Amino acid sequence: MSDLPATPEALDLSAAFLEIAACPQCHSKFALDYDLGELVCSSPDCGLAFPVHDGVPDLRIDAARRPADEVPDPAPSTGSTGSDHAGSDSTGTDADQGEADR
């Protein structure tokens, strides 16, 4: 239980609000994401996720997380860049050390 975020309290939204609330982008209904503490647009074409802080949803479009925000994985770009630099640095260093030993 301790690994779950304490967000159900943050999503303590009234049933009346949830009945009338709609995505400001496409006007679809919301689904609740208790794990992330967000209201998520139910339209697969939209899918914006709006944060909820202390029971107050932030329905500004510029505050929403877009579905594409979940997809990028920074590890491959960082890993390839890091390995490219490490490979060239270690090769140059090995050559310099070999010449210094001779």
Read off the DSSP letter of residue 71.
Answer: S
Q: Which residue is it, tokens 């960082």?
A: 78
pLDDT tens digits, 24-69: 999 999 999 988 889 999 999 999 999 998 889 999 999 999 987 7
For 96, list phi and psi in degrees, rounded to 5.
Answer: -65, -40
pLDDT tens digits, 68-85: 776 445 455 555 454 454
